[in-house]
Chains A and B, each alone.
Chain A
């Protein structure tokens, strides 16, 4: 089987389903705290299915609100624009690659793991007492966690045959998914993930974290990359994706040292992730 090349994949990305225009507009403003929230709230509200999902999430245990949030504008006022933007993006991307699809990749299992990683990354980003985490935006952590493996969806959508071959190699060698992809395809989902997020105009911080979440070296990595790698390991370790041949990926040594997280904090993170997990899956993966 011929290996894939990144230019091939990048060319194919243009033919993949497009994100709704409102999400692309939201992502372009991700680094902009002064975005015109009224204008964007109006646009989000026009997409009824999307805004309904966002409001269900805003009213779930994920945020633990005392009063009911009834409109997108209210959600922005109470939760903040960044949180609403993260929820809209999460809902739209999951909708694009619906969990119901089945084939070489178990889409349902894929999204369950992605949601677990997103919740865990956000829970880690709340630990402001950890120096390396203090500057990390919780909503960036959530979105990056959700999309860290998005390259797998691109590969399987581009060529189911190639993805199947990589997974057969993984089973045969009992190795990590990214090792199998590198051996069979010549590239891995982390590199492909960066390419699609770049195409969608996500900020560089998120691109770097997605690309390097399996980066197995001693070099210094960024705080968000360290958080995503640890969240990925925890989500696998909590066994939330229901994959019988699952493996916890390697924990990056430099990231673990950078975070220097204590056991009590880890226990909080495990608990918070599991507490929110089923409800978040039920809302985000619902077929509207």
Chain B
């Protein structure tokens, strides 16, 4: 890990600590989203197959809530 304030960081192709933080944050978001999709797996399948549109807004709201916590 290089010093992100260094003039050579990034330019040399080395990974900066900001990039590592962003990647970790992204991985955490992906993990939260995957867990929610797993919890709603049956509801979301039914959503695609049939009419009730109720599951999606609750799912979307929980996704926004979880991702806002990141």
Chain A residues in the interface with B (C-beta under 8 A): 174-176, 230, 233-234, 236-239, 246-248, 250-253, 256-257, 263, 266-267, 270-271
Closest CB-CB distance, B58 to chain A, in whole Å? Answer: 6
* Docked-complex contact B61 and A267, CB < 8 angstroms: yes
Q: What's the interface size class on B, roughly?
A: 10 to 19
CA distance A271 to B65 in the complex (A): 9
Does B55 lie within 8 Å of A270, measured CB to CB? no
Please name the 3 residue pairs, one residue from A and one from B, whose CB atoms are nearest each other, closest first: A256-B54, A237-B62, A251-B54
Q: Kindly list 14 other residue pairs between chains A and B, CB separation below 8 angstroms, not including A250-B52, A266-B58.
A: A230-B58, A234-B62, A237-B40, A237-B62, A238-B62, A247-B41, A248-B39, A250-B43, A256-B54, A256-B58, A263-B61, A266-B61, A266-B65, A270-B62
Q: Are B52 and A248 in contact (CB under 8 A)?
A: no
Verify A175–B54 contact, CB threshold 8 A: no
Shortest Cβ gap from A270 to chain B (Å):
5
Closest to B35 in A: A239
Cross-chain contact B39 with A237 (CB below 8 angstroms): yes
Q: B-side interface residues toward A, CB under 8 Å?
A: 35-36, 39-43, 46, 52, 54-55, 57-59, 61-62, 64-65
Q: Assess the A233–B58 pair: CB atoms within 8 A.
A: yes
- List 11 contacting pairs A-B, 8 Å CB cutoff, sorted by A: A234-B62, A237-B40, A237-B58, A246-B39, A247-B41, A248-B40, A248-B42, A251-B52, A251-B54, A256-B54, A267-B65
Report B28 CB to chain A, min CB distance, Å.
14
On whether the beta carbons of A237 and B36 are closer than 8 Å, the reply is yes
Bound: A230/B57 CA distance, A? 12
Tell me how far the C-beta of A235 lies from the nearest C-beta in chain B, rounded to whole angstroms: 11
In the assembled complex, the Cα of A252 lies from the Cα of B46 at a distance in Å of 13
Closest to B56 in A: A251
Known: A175-B42, A176-B42. A251 touches B55 (CB 8 A): yes
CA distance A280 to B57 in the complex (A): 28
Whether the pair A253, B54 counts as a contact (CB closer than 8 A) is yes
For the complex, give the distance between the alpha carbons of A237 and B59 in Å. Answer: 8
Least CB distance, B25 to chain A, in whole angstroms: 20
